[in-house]
Amino acid sequence: MRWRLNPLCQLHWRCWDDEYILFNASSGQTHFLSVLGALTLQLVADRALDREQLLTAFSDRLDDFTVDAETQEYVANMLADLDNLGLIEPVP
Amino acid sequence: MRFRDLSLPDLAAALRQTGIFYRIGPFSIHLETALPELPPVLHRLYSDFSLLDSDGFADFHVRLVSPHGPRALWRSQVRFLIDDASHFAPFPREIALALLEWGLNWCVFKRAHQYLMIHAGVVEKNGHALIMPARPGSGKSTLCAALAYRGWRLLSDEFALVRPEDLTVVPFPRLIPLKNESIPVMRQRVPEQAMGPTLPRTRKGTVVHLCPPTDSIRRSGEVARAGQILFPTYTGGQPLRFEPLGKSQTFLRLTANSFNYEAIGLRGFETMSALAGHWPGAEFSYGDLDEAMEYLENLLPRAAPPAPSVADQGEVPAMPSR
Whole-number pLDDT of residue B305: 64
- Cβ contact (<8 Å) for B270 and A12? yes
| B231 and B86 assigned to the same domain | no
Has residue B190 been placed in a domain? yes
Domains identified in chain B, total number = 2
Minimum Cα–Cα distance from A11: chain B residue = B315
Has residue B316 been placed in a domain? no
0.95 exceeded by pTM: no
Distance (Å, whole) CA A53 – CA A64: 17
Distance (Å, whole) CA B136 – CA B118: 13
Closest-CA distance, A12 to chain B, in angstroms, reads 6
B 289-318 near A (Cβ less than 8 A): 312-318
- Cβ contact (<8 Å) for B269 and A35? no
Has residue B27 been placed in a domain? yes
* Chain B environment of A61 (Cβ under 8 Å): 319-322
Could you give the 3-state DSSP secondary structure of residue B175? Answer: coil
Mean pLDDT value across residues B159-174: 96
| B126 and B94 assigned to the same domain | no
Closest partner residue to A42 (CB to CB) among B246, B312, B316 is B316
| B59 and B151 assigned to the same domain | no
Closest partner residue to B251 (CB to CB) among A12, A21, A25 is A21
Has residue B98 been placed in a domain? yes
Closest partner residue to A42 (CB to CB) among B262, B265, B319 is B319
Whole-number pLDDT of residue B239: 94
Closest-CA distance, B94 to chain A, in angstroms, reads 42
Has residue B315 been placed in a domain? no
* Chain B environment of A20 (Cβ under 8 Å): 317
Whole-number pLDDT of residue B73: 62
pLDDT in tens, B191-245: 999 899 999 888 889 999 999 999 999 999 999 999 899 999 999 889 999 999 9
B 78-107 near A (Cβ less than 8 A): none
Closest-CA distance, A68 to chain B, in angstroms, reads 20
| B102 and B214 assigned to the same domain | no
pLDDT at B314 over 50: no
For chain B, give the mean pLDDT.
Answer: 91
Has residue B312 been placed in a domain? no
Distance (Å, whole) CA B78 – CA B65: 6
Task: Please answer whether residues B235 and B209 qualify as being in contact, where contact means their C-beta atoms are separated by less than 8 angstroms.
Answer: no
| pLDDT level of residue B317 (50, 70, 90 thresholds) | low
Range of the domain at B124: 116-297
- Amino acid (one-letter) located at B206: T
Closest partner residue to A12 (CB to CB) among B255, B269, B318 is B269
Kindly state whether A34 is in contact with chain B, defined as any CB-CB distance less than 8 angstroms.
Answer: no
* Chain A environment of B310 (Cβ under 8 Å): none
Low-confidence ranges of chain A (pLDDT < 70): none
Whole-number pLDDT of residue B200: 85
pLDDT in tens, B40-81: 999 999 999 999 987 779 999 999 999 876 666 667 889 999
Whole-number pLDDT of residue A83: 97
| B150 and B104 assigned to the same domain | no
Report ipTM for this prediction: 0.92
| B65 and B135 assigned to the same domain | no
Task: Please answer whether residues B127 and B224 qualify as being in contact, where contact means their C-beta atoms are separated by less than 8 angstroms.
Answer: yes
| B203 and B216 assigned to the same domain | yes
Mean pLDDT value across residues B137-147: 91
- Cβ contact (<8 Å) for A23 and B315? no
Last residue of a domain, one of B111, B133, B161: B111
Indicate the burial class of B154 (C-beta count within 10 angstroms; 0-12, 13-18, 19 or more).
buried
* Chain B environment of A34 (Cβ under 8 Å): none
| B12 and B49 assigned to the same domain | yes
Kindly state whether A16 is in contact with chain B, defined as any CB-CB distance less than 8 angstroms.
Answer: yes
Has residue B167 been placed in a domain? yes
Closest-CA distance, B252 to chain A, in angstroms, reads 9
Distance (Å, whole) CA B226 – CA B128: 6
| B217 and B90 assigned to the same domain | no
Kindly state whether A33 is in contact with chain B, defined as any CB-CB distance less than 8 angstroms.
Answer: no
| B170 and B187 assigned to the same domain | yes
pLDDT in tens, B245-300: 999 999 999 999 999 999 999 999 999 999 999 998 999 999 999 999 999 998 87
pLDDT at B312 over 60: no
Could you give the 3-state DSSP secondary structure of residue B287? Answer: coil
| B207 and B65 assigned to the same domain | no
Last residue of a domain, one of B48, B81, B111: B111
| B25 and B130 assigned to the same domain | no
Whole-number pLDDT of residue B53: 86
Has residue B31 been placed in a domain? yes
Mean pLDDT value across residues B12-16: 96
- Cβ contact (<8 Å) for B266 and A38? no
Task: Please answer whether residues B98 and B207 qualify as being in contact, where contact means their C-beta atoms are separated by less than 8 angstroms.
Answer: yes
Last residue of a domain, one of B83, B111, B139: B111
Return the axis-axis angle of helices B140-148 and B289-297, rounded to nearest 10°: 60
Cβ–Cβ contacts within 10 Å for residue A30, how many?
A: 20
* Chain B environment of A14 (Cβ under 8 Å): 251, 273, 277, 313-314, 317
Task: Please answer whether residues B9 and B41 qualify as being in contact, where contact means their C-beta atoms are separated by less than 8 angstroms.
Answer: no
